[in-house]
Chain A
Amino acid sequence: MTKYIMKRILMLIPVVIGITMFIYVIMSLAPGDPATLIMGPDAKYEDILAKRQELGLNDPIFIRYLKYMAGVIRGDFGTSWYNGYNVMSEFLSRLPNTLTLGLMSMAITIVIGIPFGVIAAVRQNGAIDYCTLVLAMLFSSMPAFWFGLMAQIYFCITLGWLPATGADTLKHFILPSITLASGSLAGQVRLTRTSMLEVNKLDYVRTARSKGASESRIIMKHVLRNGMLPVVTSIGGHFATLIGGAIVTESVFAIPGVASLMINAVKIRDVPVVMGIIVVISVFVGVVNLLVDLTYAFIDPRVKLDG
């Protein structure tokens, strides 16, 4: 088990190296000198040269990359090209908002998605089944930012029930979490339904039926337990999707989180900030997936984790 965990964590290293190297390469291929961009069109030539020196752009790209990676190993992701703040500390100060958003929407996805998936499977081809599937389809096709905007206008401005923007209290997070959950909810419902239907066809369920066990007992005791296994695995995948969705959601509701930091950095091409965020989040997603796999082995003893 320990060996497996170590191996999975070590597997994150090539991911970090690969992504950073990839971004360095395309950055060096892209036209335009960062120092000139930062200093603006009116800057003096000497100032641009000084900025190049300050940013270390005079070194060959290979040396710059090694210097950067040496920093990454120590947890130092450099400073912003434009505002000079430390990338890691800025990231950490914004992380709680994004985490709250992510966890709340994950909770909504699970609490609503799983029961509806189960009901749809139990009443297969019934009215509830069709309604759930159509609604799920509808929600997954809607752009999350559009859903968010419309919900914001209706609930926050027209009805005035909830605050429209900001991240001061938990109340601020209710609508953003629902918005973010709306996209992954559909996948959760469909997956739960399919998985339940599959288990429902298995022999041991038929045995239970023929023994005369009550339908509710069959569903709760026999089908649900095994039917939940793929659902648990899917949660790791949802997590990556949630982070992608969080970017637009934070923008709609003006939540000062990691995603809004990312958007601003992309707009002004603040590469160290973008790079820092993407590396930390990739590692984070990797760790979440590892935890999910460990949980999976824990709830299903048939699964053996060996490297």
Chain B
Amino acid sequence: MKNNKKKFSNKSQLGMITFRFSKNKLAMFGLAVITLLIILCITAPLYINYEDVYKQSMANRFISPGSGHIFGTDQFGRDLFARIIYGGRISLLAGLVVVAFALILGVTLGGIAGYFGGRVDNIIMRICDVFMAVPRMLLSMAVVAALGQGTFKMLLALSIAAFPGYARTVRASIMTLRNQEYVEAAKCCGTSSARIIFKHVVPNGLGPVIVSATLGLGGTILAIASLGFLGIGVASPTPEWGTILSENRTNIRYYPYLGLIPGMFIAISVMCLNFVGDGLRDALDPRMKN
């Protein structure tokens, strides 16, 4: 009898989620590629001389990808591999910063709105509605215009454009959790509101937020690259994947590798993040899968 029982419940909730996730081949593939990319970026100083990122050499312009320079060189003779890897540090980190900042803002506001309801909820959600009514790209551009250009300001602009989505997700999942019995029990014990929110409600409502954050990370990396490409994001010569594409724009027609390689890095990382996000969604809520 004891054995029989064990068979069904030897895995914790987290264990079940990890198990389901590890069964998803695409998601595991995405996770592996992203992890590899992050490790490559973090350990970059070990195998790339930082000088290579900026060092210009007119004698070595437009060398095709090959033995000397893995990804070739650009119009100023800078090593494209060094620029891409160091660019990855900026693109991926910037994406993480934006999502983290938007999450902090979104989870706090959405949490307060969902938990207290009533007038507070109404005010916060109307503010979110206003921000959601404007296309995200336009909103971030408008904030950049009002604040002025700069990497940090751009990240702030993108976070402002992204937080209402998270606030909505958090609010929706908290609305359903608010009336659960264990929350009622905590209330009866005289637990403070802050403690109930952060210890009981948030951990249980985190699933959908993690999923939308993972999927949002891919979108944010795309948005940062787009702004870099338009010349209002990370400014050249700082390497960022979109900025690298923008620098090489006029030469891509003669030297296609200058366009193909940075674009592929953006596409692959975004796609893998989407795989991971989809995998997480299916793992967290198997009923959603069709």
**Can you list 29 A-B contacts with CB-CB less than 8 angstroms, sorted by A residue number?**
A14-B129, A15-B130, A19-B134, A22-B130, A31-B148, A32-B148, A137-B271, A141-B270, A142-B263, A143-B225, A143-B266, A143-B267, A146-B245, A146-B259, A150-B256, A153-B256, A241-B135, A244-B136, A244-B137, A262-B141, A263-B141, A263-B231, A266-B144, A266-B145, A267-B149, A275-B142, A278-B142, A282-B134, A285-B133
**Which residues of chain A have C-beta atoms less than 8 A from B253's C-beta?**
153, 157
Q: Which of B127, B144, B267 contacts A141 (CB 8 A)?
A: B267
Q: Which of A143, A150, A197, A247 contacts B141 (CB 8 A)?
A: A247
**Which residues of chain A have C-beta atoms less than 8 A from B210's C-beta?**
none
**Which residues of chain A have C-beta atoms less than 8 A from B138's C-beta?**
243-244, 247, 262, 277-278, 281-282
Q: With A and B bound together, what is the CA distance between A247 and B197 in angstroms?
A: 40
**Which residues of chain B have C-beta atoms less than 8 A from A142's C-beta?**
263, 266-267, 270
9 smallest CB-CB distances across A and B, nearest first, come from: A244-B137, A18-B130, A141-B271, A146-B263, A141-B270, A274-B145, A27-B146, A266-B145, A15-B133
B:117-161 near A, CB below 8 Å: 126-127, 129-131, 133-139, 141-149
Q: Which of A15, A270, A285 contacts B145 (CB 8 A)?
A: A270
- Asked if A103 is at the interface of the complex by the 8 Å CB criterion, the answer is no
- Asked if B37 is at the interface of the complex by the 8 Å CB criterion, the answer is no
- Asked if A175 is at the interface of the complex by the 8 Å CB criterion, the answer is no
Other than the given A138-B271, A142-B270, A263-B141, 11 more pairs (CB < 8 A) read A15-B134, A18-B130, A141-B268, A142-B263, A142-B267, A146-B263, A157-B253, A197-B290, A198-B290, A274-B142, A285-B134
- Asked if A6 is at the interface of the complex by the 8 Å CB criterion, the answer is no
Q: Indicate if the CB atoms of A266 and B141 lie closer than 8 Å.
A: yes
Q: Indicate if the CB atoms of B133 and A263 lie closer than 8 Å.
A: no
Q: Indicate if the CB atoms of A143 and B263 lie closer than 8 Å.
A: yes
Interface residues of B (CB under 8 A from A): 126-127, 129-131, 133-139, 141-149, 218, 222, 225-226, 229-232, 242, 245, 249, 252-253, 256, 259-260, 262-263, 266-268, 270-271, 274-275, 290
Which of A247, A266, A271 has the largest count of B CB atoms less than 10 A from its CB? Answer: A266
Nearest chain B CB to A31 CB, angstrom units: 7
A:117-149 near B, CB below 8 Å: 137-138, 140-146, 149
Q: Which of B126, B136, B260 contacts A14 (CB 8 A)?
A: B126
Q: With A and B bound together, what is the CA distance between A146 and B256 in angstroms?
A: 12
Q: Which of B135, B143, B242, B245 contacts A240 (CB 8 A)?
A: B135
**Which residues of chain B have C-beta atoms less than 8 A from A262's C-beta?**
138, 141
**Which residues of chain A have C-beta atoms less than 8 A from B131's C-beta?**
18
Nearest chain A CB to B32 CB, angstrom units: 16
Given contacts A26-B146, A194-B290, contact A282 B225 (CB under 8 A): no
A:254-273 near B, CB below 8 Å: 262-263, 265-267, 269-271
Chain A residues touching B, majority SS? helix
Q: Indicate if the CB atoms of B259 and A150 lie closer than 8 Å.
A: yes
Q: With A and B bound together, what is the CA distance between A270 and B245 in angstroms?
A: 26
**Which residues of chain B have C-beta atoms less than 8 A from A269's C-beta?**
145-146, 148
**Which residues of chain A have C-beta atoms less than 8 A from B245's C-beta?**
143, 145-146, 149
Nearest chain A CB to B75 CB, angstrom units: 16
Q: Indicate if the CB atoms of A143 and B135 lie closer than 8 Å.
A: no
Which of A145, A240, A277 has the largest count of B CB atoms less than 10 A from its CB? Answer: A145
- Asked if A220 is at the interface of the complex by the 8 Å CB criterion, the answer is no
Which of B133, B144, B256 has the largest count of A CB atoms less than 10 A from its CB? Answer: B133
The closest CB in chain A to the CB of B148 belongs to A30
- Asked if A23 is at the interface of the complex by the 8 Å CB criterion, the answer is yes
Which of A19, A149, A243 has the largest count of B CB atoms less than 10 A from its CB? Answer: A149
Q: Which of B142, B249, B290 contacts A149 (CB 8 A)?
A: B249
- Asked if A231 is at the interface of the complex by the 8 Å CB criterion, the answer is no
**Which residues of chain A have C-beta atoms less than 8 A from B142's C-beta?**
19, 23, 266, 274-275, 278
Chain A window 86-110, contacts with chain B (Cβ cutoff 8 Å), 1 for yes, 0 for no: 0000000000000000000000000
Nearest chain A CB to B154 CB, angstrom units: 11
Q: Indicate if the CB atoms of A143 and B229 lie closer than 8 Å.
A: yes
Nearest chain A CB to B170 CB, angstrom units: 20
Q: With A and B bound together, what is the CA distance between A281 and B245 in angstroms?
A: 28
**Which residues of chain A have C-beta atoms less than 8 A from B271's C-beta?**
137-138, 141
**Which residues of chain B have C-beta atoms less than 8 A from A278's C-beta?**
134, 138-139, 142
- Asked if A226 is at the interface of the complex by the 8 Å CB criterion, the answer is no
Q: Indicate if the CB atoms of B230 and A248 lie closer than 8 Å.
A: yes
Q: With A and B bound together, what is the CA distance between A241 and B136 in angstroms?
A: 8
Q: Which of A18, A138, A271, A286 contacts B267 (CB 8 A)?
A: A138
A:11-25 near B, CB below 8 Å: 12, 14-15, 18-19, 22-23
**Which residues of chain B have C-beta atoms less than 8 A from A22's C-beta?**
130
- Asked if A251 is at the interface of the complex by the 8 Å CB criterion, the answer is yes
Q: Indicate if the CB atoms of B129 and A15 lie closer than 8 Å.
A: yes
Nearest chain B CB to A223 CB, angstrom units: 14
The closest CB in chain A to the CB of B249 belongs to A149
Q: Indicate if the CB atoms of B146 and A140 lie closer than 8 Å.
A: no
Q: With A and B bound together, what is the CA distance between A198 and B145 in angstroms?
A: 44
Nearest chain A CB to B167 CB, angstrom units: 15
Nearest chain A CB to B11 CB, angstrom units: 28
Which of A26, A27, A32 has the largest count of B CB atoms less than 10 A from its CB? Answer: A26
Q: Indicate if the CB atoms of B218 and A141 lie closer than 8 Å.
A: yes
**Which residues of chain B have C-beta atoms less than 8 A from A263's C-beta?**
141, 230-232
Nearest chain A CB to B239 CB, angstrom units: 16
